[in-house]
Amino acid sequence: MSGPSFERGYKLLREEIDAPTAAFFSSCVHCGMCAEACLFFTETRDPKYTPIHKLEPLRKVWKQEYTFWGKLGKALGFSKPLTDQDLADWESLVYDGCTLCGRCSMVCPVGNDIAYMIRKMREGMAAAGHAPEGLIGATKRAVTIGSPMGVKLPALQAQIRHTEKEFGVKIPLDVQGAEYLCLLSSMEIMNFPEYIGSIARIFKQANVSWTLSSDAFEATNSGIQIGVSDIAAELVQRIVDAAEALKVKAVISPECGHAYMAIRWEGPNLVGKPFNFKVVHILELLDELREQGRLTLKDKEAQKLTYHDPCQISRRGGVIDQPRNLMNMVADNFVEMPESGKMNWCCGAGGGVSSNERADDLRLKVFARKKAQLDAISVDGIVSACSNCRIHLEEGLEEYHMDLPLLSLTETIAEHLAEE
Amino acid sequence: MTDTEFLLWVRGPAFNVATFIMCAGLVIRFLEILMLGRKANLAEARGSAAAGGLRTMVARSIPDAGSFQRSGFTVISGYIFHIGLFIVIFLFVPHILVFEKVMGLSWPGLPSNVVDATSVVTMIALLAVLIHRIKDPVLRMLSEFADYLVWFVTFLPLLTGYLAFHRVGLSAPMLIGLHILSVELLMILFPFTKLSHAFTLWMARWYNGAIAGYKGVRS
């Protein structure tokens, strides 16, 4: 990527505007309903976090470049053009005060997909050099080291050895012709290695042919969070290359929200061609195995449990029913939070917010929304399917002195497998 | 110019100009949007984009339960003034006669006193919406000159129509003339302001629903 400049940023903002974006901006009536759909507004009551307001620079570009009166106004000098300072002023709104959760996009009465446009605006922001340091660092590590957290292959190999010893299961690596290539997120390798053991145990019972790849084990993609499509494409291409080299039928996206968005929905568009393999989220695959009767449990969770929908998996990803089927399979007493599924409230740390230290206080403040949701149902534990949500939920629960265990859905299923 | 000459001018040349500007402006706005195009989605679909788009075009008229609760005033006042405007514009018999003359289409209307009452309710709702816009911190921040201008040109035809119907103050031709003139102002501004949402929101909802529907989400 060439060096950031305002000109590059402006050019990208201009190029990112497509027919949907223009239809959205044309339709906004400034009703303000998106504010009440956004946890950054509801928990701070600060109007600057109104979702559509976060797009003001992009709207200005649309108006001045693509509308009759805007062009005329600009030519006659009636309207001020966008400045580098405008972008600098909007940086914290676009990166710290938005997790791309897309709840606003579900509420807007005229149908504006605001999150779709924030994703576009970040392309211009990053190109103009107005992205947070933490995300820039994570993105650099993803490109040079292969993981945003700087996790290298030896670290994975160590976890593989450890897991094989602990559970007595084989973790296949670089197996040609396996049916599934399983991806991981760095957080799973470093913070939640139980995930690797869990899928190994489940796949053993269900007789799934799978492998990890030493060339492409990282599923997360900082490129789509910071908004640099070139880098995002490079990270996706590594997975495509590995999947093609190993001749797998499908790639499994791990328990990570944005990784699923990156590989499943943005991936083919980033690399510019359809994949010749399928992409499934681990929960989709587990639900498929459940349906086929390939998962046998010895018992169920007796505790009262709820499920936190990671935004990019549910609302933005379409994996909504599968986790519920699985929850009902593994738990006797599964209850929904108010406004769950596609209307769930974000934990507050998605979309790159967790990589951005500057936003630490804010993300913990807005966690109050999740607390309110949890307080309404008083459960014994929370199950989720995203290691990023999980880390933030843990921090949030601690911050708000809530003593609730947090489980991964995949790991919970593995815990209850009827193994010989 | 006598009052009658004024009415004739407003009903004749001025109406033609306003109609032309509104139609041409809307065509320009549609072209400005559609010509930007959209990249094909190369990811394998889970659901139908078209079904999702059509669904959201209709479904988005009813807010989710949470929005009803949190944005109650906006939702209720929005319903009242939109339905009110619809009744006043399209179900008032003299208006239907105008539509019949211009487009050749006719439909049954409501009794005049019902429309009269509706116009009062609509004006009250619009006044409440204006006060809300000025007082609410989010709306105050979002609002620019155009938002207040658009409110004014929406309110004005209701007010002039009410005055004309009740023959308040001026001569009948003058009152009717002023009413038609205020509608022409609305027509001229329509394509170039957020008023055009009446047309473009169908596109916006379509895109929103299609993007979600493709991924198997009912938005």
Please judge whether A342 and B217 are an interchain contact, meaning their C-beta atoms are less than 8 angstroms apart.
Answer: yes
Structure letter (DSSP) for residue A185: -
Let me know if residue B49 belongs to a domain: no
The one-letter amino acid at A352: G
* Residue A84 reports pLDDT greater than 80: yes
Prediction pTM value: 0.96
Residue in chain A lying closest to B65 (CA) = A339
Stretch A17-31: mean pLDDT, rounded? 98
Which of B34, B43, B204 lies nearest to residue A269, judging by beta carbons? B43
Contact A29 B194 (CB under 8 A): yes
Q: Which domain holds residue B83?
A: 3-31+64-196
One fold for A6-131 and A296-415? no
| pLDDT-derived band at A168, boundaries 50, 70, 90 | very high
CATH entry, A296-415, from 1.10.3470, 3.30.160, 3.40.50, 3.30.1300: 3.40.50
Q: CATH number for the domain including B172?
A: 1.20.950.20
d(CA B33, CA B68): 31
What is d(CA B111, CA B116) in angstroms, rounded to the nearest whole number?
9
On whether residue B41 sits in a domain, the answer given is: no
- Name the burial class of residue A394, with classes exposed (0-12), middle (13-18) and buried (19+) by CB atoms within 10 angstroms of its CB: middle
Q: What single string gives the DSSP state of each residue in B35-61?
A: TT--PPP-SPPSS-HHHHHHHHHHHTT
Q: With contacts defined as CB-CB under 8 Å, which chain B residues touch A276?
A: none
In 3D space, the residue among B200, B1, B43, B12 whose CA is nearest the CA of residue A265 turns out to be B43
CA distances from B30 to A2, B36, B186, B198 (A): 36, 10, 19, 12
Domain ranges in chain A? Answer: 6-131, 142-289, 296-415
When CB atoms are compared, the residue of B33, B42, B47 closest to A268 is B42
Residue owning tokens 């109406």: B15
Q: Looking at beta carbons, which residues of chain B come within 8 Å of A316?
A: 215, 217
Q: Which amino acid is at B98?
A: V
Quickly name the fold that domain A142-289 has.
Rossmann fold (3.40.50)
Beta carbons of A19 and B36 less than 8 Å apart: yes
- Average pLDDT (A367-384) is 97
Interface touch B136/A32, C-beta < 8 Å: yes
Please report the residues numbered 101 through 160 in chain A whose beta carbons come closer than 8 angstroms to any beta carbon of chain B.
105-113, 116
Contact B32 A50 (CB under 8 A): no
Q: For chain A, give me the number of helices (H) and strands (E)?
A: 22, 8
For the cut 70, the answer to whether the pLDDT of residue A1 exceeds it is no
Segment A32-52 mean pLDDT: 98
Q: Is B2 on the interface with A (CB under 8 A)?
A: no
Residue of B71, B207, B218 with shortest CB distance to A113: B207
How long is chain B?
Answer: 219
What is the dihedral sign for C-alpha A48, A11, A235, A120?
A: positive
- What pLDDT is recorded for position A195? 95
Per the CB < 8 A criterion, the answer to whether A19 and B207 are in contact is: yes
Which CA distances in Å does A387 have to A44, A329, A365, B41? 26, 22, 20, 28
Burial class of residue B144 (count of CB atoms within 10 Å of its CB; 0-12, 13-18, 19+) = exposed
Half-sphere exposure of A67 (CA within 13 A, CB side): 24
Using an 8 Å Cβ cutoff, are A99 and A41 in contact? no
Confidence of residue A419 (pLDDT cuts 50, 70, 90): confident
Nearest-CB residue to B211 (from A36, A50, A113): A113
Q: Yes or no: say if B174 and B6 are a contact pair by the CB < 8 Å rule.
A: yes
Cβ distance B42 to A28 less than 8 Å, yes or no, reads: no
Q: Would you give the DSSP letter of residue B193?
A: S
Q: Are A337 and A374 in contact (CB under 8 A)?
A: yes
- Please judge whether B32 and A66 are an interchain contact, meaning their C-beta atoms are less than 8 angstroms apart: yes
Q: Which positions in chain A touch B29 (Cβ < 8 Å)? A: 26, 67-68
The predicted-structure confidence for A256-271, as pLDDT tens digits, reads as follows 999 999 999 999 999 9
Contact A318 B216 (CB under 8 A): yes
Structural domain contains residue B52: no
Residues ≥6 apart with Cβ < 8 Å to B213:
B47, B48, B49, B50, B51, B52, B53, B55, B56, B219
The shortest CB-CB distance from A18 to any of B37, B47, B141 is to B37
Using the beta-carbon criterion (under 8 Å), do B78 and A21 form an inter-chain contact?
no
What is the mean pLDDT of the segment spanning A46-53? 98
The per-residue pLDDT for B109 is 97
B48: contact with A, CB 8 A cutoff? no
The per-residue DSSP string of A286-321 comes to HHHHHHTT---BS--EEEEEEEEPPTTTTTTT---H
Is B135 near chain A, with CB under 8 Å? no
Q: Output the six-digit token pair for A405.
A: 């265990």
Q: B10-19 long-range CB contacts below 8 Å, 24 or more apart? A: B10/B177, B10/B180, B10/B181, B10/B184, B11/B177, B11/B180, B14/B180, B14/B181, B14/B184, B15/B180, B15/B184, B17/B184, B18/B183, B18/B184, B18/B185, B18/B187, B18/B188, B19/B102, B19/B187
Number of domains in chain B: 1
ipTM exceeding 0.95? yes
A248 burial (CB, 10 Å; 0-12 / 13-18 / 19+) is buried
Nearest to A316 by CA among A116, A30, A27, A161: A116
Does residue A2 register a pLDDT over 90? Answer: no
pLDDT digits (tens, 9 = 90+) for A284-295: 999 999 999 999
What is the residue-averaged pLDDT of chain A? Answer: 96
Are A17 and B36 in contact by the 8 Å Cβ rule? The answer is: yes
At A32, give phi and psi (nearest 5°).
Answer: 80, 5
Residue A147 pLDDT grade (very low, low, confident, very high; cuts 50, 70, 90): confident
User: What is the distance between the alpha carbons of residues A11 and A8, in angstroms, rounded to a whole number?
Assistant: 5
Which residues in chain B have their CB less than 8 angstroms from residue A342's CB?
A: 217-219
Q: What is the signed CA dihedral for A354, A356, A360, A366, rounded to 10 degrees? A: -60
Q: Decide if B92 is inside a domain.
A: yes
pLDDT of residue A149: 86
Helix B145-165, helix B112-135: angle, nearest 10: 160
Q: What is the CATH number of domain A6-131?
A: 1.10.1060
**How confident is the model over A279-320, as pLDDT tens digits?**
999 999 999 999 999 999 999 999 999 999 999 999 999 999
Residue B69 maps to a domain: yes
Q: Please state, in angstroms and rounded to a whole number, the distance separating the CA atoms of residues A317 and A313.
A: 4
Residue B132 contacts A, CB cutoff 8 Å: no
Lowest model confidence (mean pLDDT) among A251-255, A366-370, B111-115, B167-171: B167-171
Given CB atoms, is A50 within the 8 Å cutoff of chain B?
yes
Can you tell me the mean pLDDT for A350-361?
95
Q: Which of B64, B78, B204 sits opposite A111 (nearest CB)?
A: B204
- A35 to chain B, any CB pair closer than 8 A? The answer is yes
In percent, how much of chain A has pLDDT > 70? Answer: 99
Given a cut of 70, the residues of chain B with pLDDT beneath it are none
Q: Which residues does chain B have within 8 Å of residue A35's beta carbon, measured at their own beta carbons?
A: 138
Strand-pair category, A381-384 with A331-335: unpaired
Are A31 and B74 within 8 A, CB to CB?
yes
The tens digit of pLDDT for each residue in A25-39 reads 999 999 999 999 999
